[in-house]
Amino acid sequence: MYKMKKYIAAFILASFAVSQVIAKSNTRIGLSSSLEASQTVKPNHTVLNKLLNTYVNGAGVVNYKAFLKDKLTLQQYLKSLANVKVNTLSKDEQLAFWINVYNAATIDQILRNYPVKSIMDISGGKVWDQKLPYTFAGKSYTLNEIEKVKLIEELDDARVHFAVNCAAISCPKLLNKAYTADNIQSLLNANTSAFLNDTEFNKLSPAKAQLSNIFNWYKADFAKAEGSVAAFINKYAKVKIKENTPLSYINYNWSLNDK
């Protein structure tokens, strides 16, 4: 009987030891899964959407003075995107991600230097070439790298030139909502059409076309998209131009899009 009790006690102790090993193993698995989840998290643009809806009006004018009280909220939003594994996202998700990053980071630059009369007053007019104080997909980027590399070179969509906002009067207007995978395509089309058909930015006729300097700076992107700048314009503009219509460019107003 004594030997039997001894064997039972030994069995119980052994079982307990095995259970502890399994428990520790499961804990490590849980931590690993949690870490992996944080690396593949989907971007959440709800905070940006609320901020834009609060401080940007329907004409794309920003109340930067009022926005200052939520400067830290905007910065926390930008920091929250650091763990997004961007290359796992769909193309529409990536388009929305990088456009939102560009626009939020531009506003952040204005708020860090406010009051200013123009974004050209920041960093000697070289703000687009300064590394942002945030990381995305494990790297730091400049605004130019986001627009020209991530959005144009990699995602290959010339319409993004009418979605990214440079905080100036002559820029395509900043929307008072965030971009998402669900609205990105409709908004890119709407933005492009709205900009081309607004006579403040473009004056079109078959005889001559006075265009925003955006069509001068990024003519190669528009020609690549539709075969020529004229073909791109005609896809979205109500007034059509000819392939040989003379093109000129309107002076760019770099004044801040401030209320």
The structure's pTM equals 0.85
162 within a domain of the structure (yes/no): yes
Same domain as 95, residue 62: yes
Same domain as 59, residue 4: no
With 70 as the cut, is the pLDDT of residue 135 above it? yes
Q: What's the whole-number average pLDDT of the chain?
A: 89
Torsion 201-57-136-44 (CA) sign: negative
Same domain as 161, residue 229: yes
Write the pLDDT tens digit of every residue in 32-77. Answer: 333 334 435 889 999 999 999 999 999 999 999 999 999 999 999 9
Same domain as 179, residue 244: yes
Element (DSSP H or E) covering residue 250: strand 247-250
With 80 as the cut, is the pLDDT of residue 5 above it? no
- Give the whole-angstrom CA distance, residue 182 versus residue 188: 12
Same domain as 59, residue 24: no
Q: Please, where are the H alpha helices in the chain? A: 2-39, 46-55, 64-67, 71-80, 91-113, 143-145, 184-196, 214-217, 219-226, 229-236
Residue 110 neighbours by CB under 8 Å, 6+ apart: 62, 64, 116, 119, 122, 167, 256
> What residue has token string 């890119």?
188
With 90 as the cut, is the pLDDT of residue 13 above it? no
Residue 254 neighbours by CB under 8 Å, 6+ apart: 118, 119, 120, 168, 169, 170
User: How many structural domains comprise the chain?
Assistant: 2
200 within a domain of the structure (yes/no): yes
Give the C-alpha distances (Å, rounded to integers) separating 70 from 111, 167, 169, 173: 10, 18, 23, 21
Same domain as 150, residue 57: yes
- Give the whole-angstrom CA distance, residue 170 versus residue 162: 11
257 within a domain of the structure (yes/no): no
Question: Of 155, 160, 152, 246, which Cα lies nearest the Cα of 195?
Answer: 160
Same domain as 129, residue 92: yes
Structural domain including 2 reads 1-37
107 within a domain of the structure (yes/no): yes
Same domain as 162, residue 81: yes
Same domain as 114, residue 5: no
152 within a domain of the structure (yes/no): yes
Write the pLDDT tens digit of every residue in 204-236. Answer: 999 999 999 999 999 999 999 999 999 999 999
240 within a domain of the structure (yes/no): yes
CB atoms within 10 A of CB 170: 17
Same domain as 120, residue 236: yes
Same domain as 152, residue 226: yes
Write the pLDDT tens digit of every residue in 168-196. Answer: 999 999 999 999 999 999 999 999 999 99
Same domain as 68, residue 27: no
256 within a domain of the structure (yes/no): no
Q: Report residue 112 as tokens.
A: 């860090």
255 within a domain of the structure (yes/no): no
